[in-house]
Amino acid sequence: MFDFDIVRIVAGLPGLLIALVVHEYAHARAAVAMGDPTPAMMGRLTLNPKEHIDPVGLLALLLVQFGWAKPVVYNPRNFRNWRKGDIIVALAGPGANLAIGFIATFAYYLMYRLGMDMSVGVHSVMRLIIIFNVNFAIFNMLPIPPLDGSKVLMNILPGNLAYRFAQLEQYSFLILIGLMMTPILGMIIIPISRFVMDMYSLIILTIL
């Protein structure tokens, strides 16, 4: 879990910044599109990292691979259809990360095909942009409050079950720490991540 390799930290910084900023921006953009002006009023409709990055959360991500960004605040009551809107906002962040992962994979293959310089540094940065975005999407889709996957699940569960499920949020930090301290999280994320990246490669190789 703990990795203080300075080279990996420097190479991974672009990928982490892109993953965090795009994720939160997508949440904000989706909430506004669903009818809630709150993210716009709070200045979150921007790709400026300053508006989305929590310095402590970013440092934690770089050092121990567990961190956070500033969550986008929105009011589902302003949505034209609050249940549909809440699901779309929740899916927007992971969806944006998967899109960035695909774009970065396509760019990587294209650079290789065109015979462009693929130094160790460029290779590492591109690879980590892909990995961080794919893994960030998968992690956020775990059905653990307050992650995005839990918001999707709460909106499709019957009312009484959704209420009981929401009570898990008081234990969410302990649950996430427990997952980080055991091989369980890796056993969930790594196979899904490999599948997603294999699908990227299959689609891109078909196109190219």
Closest CA to 180 of 65, 94, 70: 65
C-alpha span between 87 and 107 (Å, rounded) = 30
**Is residue 1 in a domain?**
no
Per-residue pLDDT reduced to its tens digit, 38-64? 999 999 999 999 999 888 887 777 776
Note whether residue 145 is domain-resident.
yes
Instruction: Place 1 in a pLDDT band, splitting at 50, 70 and 90.
Output: very low
Number of domains in the chain: 1
Kindly state whether residue 147 falls inside one of the protein's structural domains: yes
> Which domain does 38 fall in, by range?
6-207
Catalytic-residue membership of 169: no
CB contact set of 17 (below 8 Å; sequence gap of 6+): 49, 53, 58
Residue 65 has pLDDT above 70, yes or no: no
- The one catalytic residue in 22, 24, 98, 142 is 24
Per the domain annotation, does 137 fall within a domain? Answer: yes
181 within domain boundaries? yes
